[in-house]
Amino acid sequence: MMRQYELVERVVSYNPNADEALLNKAYVYSMRKHGKQKRASGDPYFVHPLEVAGILTDLRLDDGTIAVGLLHDTLEDTDATRAELDSMFGPEIGKLVEGLTKISKLDLVSRRTAQAENIRKLLLAISDDVRVLIVKLADRLHNMRTLHFVPEHKRHRIAQETIDIYAPLAERMGMQDIREELEGLSFKYINPEAYQAISERLEEVRQRNKTIITEIEGELEKTFLEKGLRATVRGREKRAYSIFRKMQRQNIGFEQLSDIYAFRVLVDNIDDCYRTLGIVHTIWPCVPGRFKDYVSTPKPNDYRSIHTTVIGPGRQRVELQIRTFEMHQFAEYGVAAHALYKDVTGKTKGGRSLGRLAKDSNAYSWLRQTVELLSSGNSAEEFLEHTKLELFQDQVFCFTPKGRVIALPRGAIPIDFAYAVHTDIGDTCIGCKINGAVMPLVTELNNGDEVEIICSKAQTPPPAWENIAATGKARAAIRKATRAAVRKQYAGLGEQILQNAFKRAGQEYSAEQIKVALSRLGFQALDEALAAVGRGELQSRMVIEAVFPDYQDQRAAQSEGERGEGWFGLPHASAMKFRIPGSSRKNGKNGHQPGQRSIPIRGLSADIPVTFAPEGGAVPGDRIVGIHTPGKGVTIYPIHSPALSQFDDAPERWLDVRWDIDEENTERFPARIEVSILNEPGSLAAIANVIAENDGNIENIKMEHQLNDFHDMTIDLSVWNLNHLNRIIEQIRSKKTVSKAWRVN
């Protein structure tokens, strides 16, 4: 176990101005609080926070973060209180320890709903101060190093949680060493057979090529020195989990791997990075498709390096990562590297803490953007889906026409690009240009593509986009816009219902009066109340009574003739137009008066559901009426349909609707006819020929009665409009084999 003075010395070695009194006090306080507590290994519990603090010193973090590492379990596992921590160590450290305590209590391996909610809490906690995440990663790393002491039935669950959540978070924060160790330790318990097999094969390669890394390092350094370039070359063997992932991703065997070894070339400045690249590519052949420049285009987690693969010394395939020493620090430590660079006073940049420094990083900005999705998702499960989409995807880098870099997951399309630029750009996107050429919005983007988004203020995102978008941000925004569109349509329908209801009650409809009554109705916004009426969740009578408390419903005393001059009791309200899919209506067309409200209640899946009367449907040219059914939408009937009599006692459900279609309409509508024909060969064929020759479409035929001389049949067909239907019926009647034909309403 590390001694108190040893811990302080480790911190002072890289931070001479560290607060030694703070470190000593935290060490003693934690040791006393944990007292005689034991870990599963049998060691004193205090060994764990001490090892966590040791990991944090390896990251060369500030003394405040080291103190949090020592104290991180005190609130959870001892009688320590937040007030006590605040008084002894200050409110900042107390807040960090409390944040870690909340995370420690999360059961991220529970059922999906609970896991999703816990991940939401986790990211909310760490988004406030990145040090919470860094200490949590150190805590998890030590727990994984000692996982073999945990009961066997728990190991797989903890390892799966680590590789699913904590390793990707470490990668997003740029902390590659911690990520790789977490992945390797998890892999050992999740898939022990694969881990054992790959480890054995690596050992065979290691024994066969004992000196190959040293030889290649020496030859590379010698070559660079001859070219006048001072460079440090460090070789390493790829880790088992990295090899396993590559084998799975490329569907290859171990013997097909040709780049088990990777070499890092560290130089003094960026110019030397590109000089090194030039030397390498001049001397050794470059492997096509294996060059990536993350110096000019850094990854979202601030990772910067040049990657290339060459056929190097001894005809070995060598992967090279070329970077400066400073880039290397950030590559290894990620956001924690912000604590490594001091000014002359020995403090972190500008005297600020790591928590504030890291907030300036791209890696940390990703975390904040992820948390913003919380407001877009409708449930914890959606947030889990979005978070995993962001965590587990490889990256492609695309450019706006002005040169801004947009990082997206592999498989992203221009829709994802548009939402990555700005939500408003995504919501109004109607097309795109990729590298100057007009391309479909479903085109998969590649590294280096320049994408220009074409927008229209009249556009709203189709709900189907949610199924093809690759990023959580895009899916969340599309879902949010879809809900808003549905709410707007239901609100419009609800307002129409209320206008009719107020008129029947002899009252003047006023949105302002309803706003005043919202609290009595249990709503905060007018559109929410209107949408509830449109969905059938709030009765129009309840709204009237909330606005006019003294109102008494007199409808029961009214006779049928007293209801007004509307069709079947339908009051003459301002007509609601009925939009048909594909229409491009203009005000004043088809007899509609300019300024009338048009509610698109059919078409996209986001619209209010609209169906036609089950007995005979309705076609353009019919005078029609809509019947609103709560929770099911609107059913359209011809105004002369006998089926409407069943709704005479529910006039609030009647809607005055009209057709709203173009002359170029290309949609058919349902109709039903009955035909009585002679029972002789060819009769049915004659009927079918009439319908086909007149461009009608038979949907269903049913024989109702089969007598000796005649057959009665019911035919469901689809037609363009009323004239089209009447023409078909007249031509059917003209056939010698037809006794009679008529339309079913």
Judged against a pLDDT cut of 70, whether residue 341 lies above it is answered with no
What's the pLDDT band for 579 if we cut at 50, 70, 90? very low
What's the 3-state SS for 401-428? Answer: CCCCEEEEECCCCHHHHHHHHCHHHHHC
Q: What is the CATH number of domain 4-197?
A: 1.10.3210.10
Report the pLDDT value the prediction gives residue 383, as an integer from 0 to 100.
56
Say yes or no: domain 669-744 is CATH 3.60.130.10: no
Domain with CATH 3.30.460.10 in the chain: 205-339
**Average pLDDT in the 689-696 region?**
88
Q: Could you give the residue numbers annotated as active site?
A: 76-77
Query: How far is Cα of residue 58 from the mean position of the Cα atoms in its chain?
Result: 36
In the chain, what percentage of residues exceed pLDDT 90? 20
Inform me whether the pLDDT recorded for 150 exceeds 60: yes
pLDDT beyond 60 at 611? yes
Q: Which residue has the higher pLDDT, 654 or 378?
A: 654
Strands (E), 336-447: 395-399, 405-409, 429-434, 437-439
Strand 429-434 with 437-439, pairing: antiparallel
Per-residue CA distances from 294 to 274, 277, 552 (Å):
12, 13, 74
DSSP 268-306: SSHHHHHHHHHHHHHHSPBPTT--EETTTS--TT----E
Residue 147 near residue 161, CB atoms below 8 Å: no
* Helix 91-104 and helix 130-145, axial crossing angle in degrees, nearest 10: 50
Per DSSP (E only), the strands in 209-252 are: 232-237
What is the pLDDT at residue 305? 92
Does 57 score more than 60 pLDDT?
A: yes
Question: Which has the closest alpha carbon to 597: 536, 657, 529?
Answer: 657
pLDDT of residue 173: 77
Q: What's the CA gap between 497 and 654, in Å, rounded?
A: 8
From-to residues of CATH 3.30.70.260 in the chain:
669-744
Integer Cα distance of 687 and 680 in angstroms: 13
- Per CATH, the homologous superfamily of domain 205-339 is Beta Polymerase, domain 2 (3.30.460.10)
pLDDT exceeds 90 at position 68: yes
Q: In the structure encoding, which two tokens stand for residue 361, read together?
A: 């990083």
pLDDT in tens, 655-665: 777 777 766 66
What torsion, rounded to 10 degrees, do the Cα atoms 364, 366, 371, 374 define? Answer: 180
pLDDT: which is higher, 332 or 167? 167
Whether the Cβ atoms of residue 637 and residue 644 lie closer than 8 Å to each other: yes
Residue 251's pLDDT band, with cuts at 50, 70 and 90, is confident
Residue 583 confidence (pLDDT) above 80: no
Question: Which tops the pLDDT comparison, 218 or 341?
Answer: 218
Does the pTM surpass 0.75? The reply is no
Check residues 290 and 44 and name the one with the higher pLDDT. 44
State the pLDDT at residue 266: 93
Start-end of CATH 1.10.3210.10 domains in the chain: 4-197
* Confidence label for 352 from pLDDT (cuts 50, 70 and 90): very low
Closest CA to 612 of 598, 597, 602, 600: 602
Q: How confident is the model at residue 379 (pLDDT cuts 50, 70, 90)?
A: low
Rg of the chain over all Cα atoms, to the nearest angstrom: 36
pLDDT beyond 50 at 375: no
- Better-predicted residue by pLDDT, 103 or 3: 3
If one compares 449 and 576, the residue with the highest pLDDT of the two is 449
Of residues 392 and 265, more confidence is placed in: 265
Please enumerate, as own/partner, the contacts of 202-210 that have beta carbons within 8 Å and a separation of 24 or more. Answer: 202/237, 202/240, 202/243, 202/260, 205/260, 206/237
Confidence of residue 133 (pLDDT cuts 50, 70, 90): confident
Measured in degrees and rounded to the nearest 5, phi and psi for residue 172 equal -65, -30
Residue 380, pLDDT above cutoff 60: no
Are 441 and 474 within 8 A, CB to CB? no
Please give the average per-residue pLDDT across 717-740, as a whole number: 87
- CB proximity list for 653: less than 8 A, separation 6 or greater: 627, 628, 629, 647
Q: What is the reported pLDDT for 334?
A: 72
Residue 142 pLDDT: 95
Q: pLDDT band at residue 187, thresholds of 50, 70 and 90?
A: very high
Instruction: Indicate the pLDDT class of residue 624, thresholds 50, 70 and 90.
Output: confident
**CB-based contact 304:294 (threshold 8 Å):** yes
The encoded tokens of residue 433 equal: 């240009």
CA atoms of 335 and 178, how far apart (whole Å): 12
**Taking all residues of the chain, what is their mean pLDDT, rounded to a whole number?**
78
Residue 557: the pLDDT is 40
Dihedral sign of CA atoms 585, 589, 591, 592 in order: positive
Residue 125: predicted pLDDT: 59
Given pLDDT bands bounded at 50, 70 and 90, which one contains residue 343? very low
Helix 176-190 vs helix 130-145: angle between axes, to the nearest 10 degrees?
A: 40
560: which 2 tokens? 């049928």
Q: pLDDT band for 553, please (50, 70, 90 cuts).
A: low
Residue 715's pLDDT is what?
92
pLDDT over 70 at 258, yes or no: no
Residue 653 or 79, more confident: 79
CA angle 681, 683, 686 (to 5 degrees): 125
Judged by average pLDDT, the poorest of 56-70, 217-231, 329-343, 595-609 is 595-609
- Could you read off the pLDDT of 476-533 as tens digits, one per residue? 888 888 888 878 878 888 888 888 888 888 888 888 888 888 888 878 888 888 888 8
User: Is residue 274's pLDDT more than 60?
Assistant: yes
Give the rounded percent of residues in the chain with a pLDDT score beyond 70.
78
Q: What is residue 705's predicted lDDT score, i.e. its pLDDT?
A: 64
Nearest to 570 by CA among 517, 641, 619: 641
The yes-or-no verdict on residue 347 having pLDDT over 50 is no
